[in-house]
A and B are shown apart, each in its own frame.
Chain A
């Protein structure tokens, strides 16, 4: 079975937030809810300072703490590794949000819009009442992954079935694919480069690999 993962090449990422904006578009999240965002991390002291840009979001963990704690089974994990939320089941208790060590879950309790209380036409067309007062997070653009099967396309290769953030990346920093397939783009990238995963010590088996150098 597939395990879809994301590979982030930290060497490439410039922190431009194009993926952040593209995700906001693709998923019509409300203002301030960024399922994908890029951190601006400073380390060291003047003048020996480094600044690194690090895309974060739901890691679609192999061992997702959010799912284990969810009392309603709204959070589920699929055979292909995607961790999803059934908005009809979620009670908005927030337990998943405190269980997630990646701060990837968002709950908003009232509708808000770009220019205040009233939606623009575009926002009104996309507003989904179901998403108020429940937990939401990055889905790896799950609809597209599902479409891949129907259309016989490969997520991470064909843009129609690839997460919006990956499609949008202007630095080729974001990659998506099936880690179980040794020939896939992500498997090759992980094989050919040095990588780490965030907070791996917590036993979450996160599905986001950060490349930091090529093999020497």
Chain B
């Protein structure tokens, strides 16, 4: 019962992870759909999917909170709470998105996409503000959350565009996907380095150590290779689908891992043991922690 070393937080489970998954993929998709729309691509279907993903994510959170019928209280602390801010962005995002879809207005859709980015930024800040979870409170978590959201959006678009608008060239979405995957790899590694550099729960690092390789190779390198392959060989809606799906799955796995597997709490630390007649100062202890990298 009495635990000293960090243990996994129990307050946010897969449902919370789904909010980051839906929110990231959805808002990323909105942005890339907007870019595609600017080039004349239809945006209704993927725009709707993007909004649906965000909505699904929020629904999962609603399922998780203890007092769902008090959900409106979530709006009460815009001064400091990024959860309130996220919640406040959401209605405008849906309003703009649905309006754009109804009106068929690319300009309005761009507003929705911009609000989506704000929403995604809020999600990054939600994690960053969680001081109790070393894996979340790293400053680099914000770019990582944003970059993976965008990567997932690019992945989604690359996957669905050949089916929605076969006539449009796939070149730029695949190039974007490739660049986002590179950016995500960089963001992930710098996040990981920052985490280890500052010291972290050993179990968090162990979870990430197990996650790192599959994530890099299957979630990033492989879709990047596939994207490059399509870019240079042309055609290949299926390959494009696969590349996009892998990029999306990689991002989802990352957020599930971050929220529901690597989220060990701070644990406790004894900076200096008490002097109980033995004389001098003794070394402290921080059980379950891997100290900062030298």
A binds B: yes
| Chain A residues with a Cβ under 8 A of chain B | 9-11, 13, 32, 37-43, 50, 52, 54, 56, 65, 67-74, 89-95, 97-103, 107, 109, 132-134, 194, 196, 198-199, 202, 204, 210-214
Q: What separation, in Å, do the CA atoms of A178 and B190 have in the docked complex? A: 44
- Check if A98 sits within 8 Å of B130, measured CB to CB: yes
> What are the residues of chain B within 8 A of A74 when measuring CB–CB?
73
Known: A93-B66, A133-B66. A39 touches B73 (CB 8 A): no
A98-B80 in contact (CB<8A): no
Q: A41-B4, A50-B282 are in contact. Are A91 and B74 (CB under 8 A)?
A: yes
- A204: chain B residues at CB < 8 Å are 131
| Complex Cα–Cα for A38 and B133 (A) | 22
Known: A72-B77, A99-B130, A99-B132. A92 touches B67 (CB 8 A): yes
Q: With a CB–CB cut-off of 8 A, which chain A residues contact B136?
A: 98
Given known contacts A11-B274, A56-B268, A72-B70, A97 and B77 CB-to-CB distance under 8 angstroms: no
Other contacts beyond A65-B131, A91-B70, A99-B130: 10, CB < 8 A: A32-B1, A43-B284, A69-B82, A73-B77, A74-B73, A99-B129, A199-B266, A202-B266, A212-B272, A213-B281
Contacts of B276 in A (CB 8 A): 11
Contacting residue for B73 out of A91, A94, A98, A132, CB 8 A: A91
Do A41 and B73 contact each other (CB < 8 Å), given the known contacts A50-B273, A91-B65, A103-B266? no
Question: Is B164 on the interface with A (CB-CB < 8 A)?
Answer: no
Alpha-carbon gap, A110 to B64, bound state (A): 14
Asked whether any CB of chain A lies closer than 8 Å to the CB of B265, the reply is: yes
List 20 A-B residue pairs with CB atoms under 8 Å apart, sorted by A's residue number. Answer: A37-B2, A39-B4, A42-B287, A43-B282, A54-B268, A65-B130, A65-B132, A70-B77, A71-B76, A73-B76, A91-B65, A95-B11, A97-B11, A98-B265, A99-B129, A101-B132, A102-B266, A103-B265, A103-B266, A212-B272
CB-defined contacts of A32 to chain B, threshold 8 Å? 1
Query: In the complex, which residues 237-294 of chain B have their Cβ closer than 8 Å to any Cβ of chain A?
Result: 263, 265-276, 281-285, 287
| Contact mask for chain B residues 120-138; partner A; CB cutoff 8 A; 1 contact, 0 none | 0000001001111100100
Question: Interface size of B by Cβ–Cβ distance < 8 Å?
Answer: 52
Q: Is the CB of B129 within 8 A of A68?
A: yes
Residue of B65, B77, B272 touching A94 (CB-CB under 8 A): B65
Picked from A39, A43, A92, A212, the residue with its CB within 8 Å of the CB of B283 is: A43
A residues within 8 A CB of B64? 93-94
Residue among A40, A42, A94, A95 facing the most chain B CB atoms (10 A cut-off): A95
Number of A-B contacts (CB under 8 A): 166
The verdict on B12 contacting chain A, using a C-beta distance below 8 Å, is: yes
Asked if A69 contacts B4 (CB within 8 A), the reply is no
Q: Which residues of B, 29-60, contact A by the 8 Å Cβ criterion? A: none
* A68 CB contacts on chain B under 8 angstroms: 80-81, 129
User: Which B residues from 103 to 143 make CB contacts under 8 A with A?
Assistant: 126, 129-133, 136
Ranked 8 nearest A-B pairs via Cβ: A92-B66, A133-B66, A94-B11, A10-B274, A72-B73, A43-B285, A65-B131, A101-B266
Contact partners of B133 in chain A: CB under 8 A:
98
A196 contact set on B, CB distance < 8 A: 271-272
Chain B nearest CB, measured from A160 CB (Å): 30
